[in-house]
Amino acid sequence: MFGEMELRERCVVVTGGAHGIGRALAERFAAEGAHVVVADVNAQRAERIAARIEGLPVVCDVGDPEQISGLVEQAVGAYGPVDVFCSNAGIGDRGPGLASTREQIDEITRVNLLSHLWAAQEVVPSMVERGGGYLVQTISSASLITGPSGMGYTVTKHGALGFAEWMALNYAHLGITVTCLCPNAVNTGMMGRNEDDESASDERDDPVRATIGDIVEPELCADMTLEAMREGRVLVLPHPRVGEAFLRKAGDYDRWLEGTNRRLRRLRGSSDGPSHGGDRPVPGQRSASPLRYSAVSSSSRASSSGPSGCPTASTESASCSGRLAPTMGAVTAGLASTQATAKVARDIPASRATLRRPSTVANSRSCQ
């Protein structure tokens, strides 16, 4: 665990750092005195955020391991060895479920899952040699409770959490601290926020978005992430319902599957046939559409990480995800930590982080 001053002068890399949760993380680390590398596929926004926090902008597509290697090389050249690597960039499904092409499945797997592994390969050996380091993984509630998210998003988020657990199990004693941010809905580009107008959010009526439940601000996610890092907790749950739903799922898995199947069919207005989850992709669009609440992991490569995994209009509808990923102890600890969410929110100016009920959606933009 590190103290308040130990981030000063440290090298921090944030992928998808120009938008949403990534932007909030970059700004939060900079406020702690760290040297922050803002990596994003959107060069203009990366430069804007980096200038604001006196950091280093780097154009990087995390779906390419060579670009991740180049990113780390630039970070080390500018600020020294990487102390904190935030794998935050991500994308939504590119195709409709099982009908997705191999290329579409490959793209989301590389960005949402393999990029975490490639980043660890680049930075962990040096961290171990120096006595420790931090891996921050922006994943999603979709890694714990499968909901309306697309097939690719759900599979890759489960995989990302599995990789994070593997890292924690095999490297904790070597000084590597793993932190997993698993929010549901976050007010980012994945939810329709206009990331180029940071002073306002678009308010339009959207009956689907209205079923999601509470939407939190990226700044709250960032603050809770740093708090978890200091306390040595792996799981960060900005939405308490996610942990509660996961515990219910573990208690009676078959009953949870049956109930969630019924709720998803009602949500989509159909009773027969398979549900692909999420929207069908819009040609040329590099981000999740409003129906794909996935994130907190993530957003498009060009942008930042994403928001969520399933709607939580009710406690039950929050229960959405497949395989038992984290340990029950970790979930319980993460859930307990969310009791501090209200306190954290009170400490953040209303303009920065609030829990709110959605009534609208903006145009679906590229990143989270």
Q: Which residues contact 25 (CB under 8 A, 6 or more apart)?
A: 14, 17, 86, 88, 136, 138, 221, 222, 225
**344 and 58 in contact (C-beta within 8 Å)?**
no
Q: Residue 88 in contact with residue 29, Cβ under 8 Å? A: no
Where does 41-165 show beta strands of DSSP type E? 56-59, 82-87, 133-138
Give the per-residue SS3 of 167-227.
HHHHHHHHCEEEEEECCCCECCHHHCCCCCCCCCCCCCCCCCHHHCCCEECHHHHHHHHHH
**Cβ within 8 Å of residue 184, ≥6 positions away:** 140, 141, 212, 213, 214, 238, 239, 241, 242, 293, 296, 307, 308, 309, 310, 312, 318
**In sequence order, what are the beta bridge partners of 84?**
12, 134
Q: What is the DSSP letter of 356?
A: B
- Whose tokens are 């692909």? That residue is 276
- How long a stretch of residues is the chain? 368
Active site residue 153: yes
Say which DSSP state 275 is in.
-
Name the residue among 4, 9, 178 with its Cα closest to residue 81: 9
Burial class (CB in 10 A: 0-12, 13-18, 19+), 57: buried
Quote the DSSP letter at residue 116.
Answer: H
The one catalytic residue among 79, 134, 153, 293: 153
Question: What does the alpha-carbon distance between residue 75 and residue 37 come to, in Å, rounded to a whole number?
Answer: 6
152, 155, 156, 160 alpha-carbon torsion, rounded to 10°: 170
Which phi and psi angles does 344 have, rounded to 5°? Answer: -60, -45
Amino acid, single-letter form, for residue 241:
R
Active site residues: 153
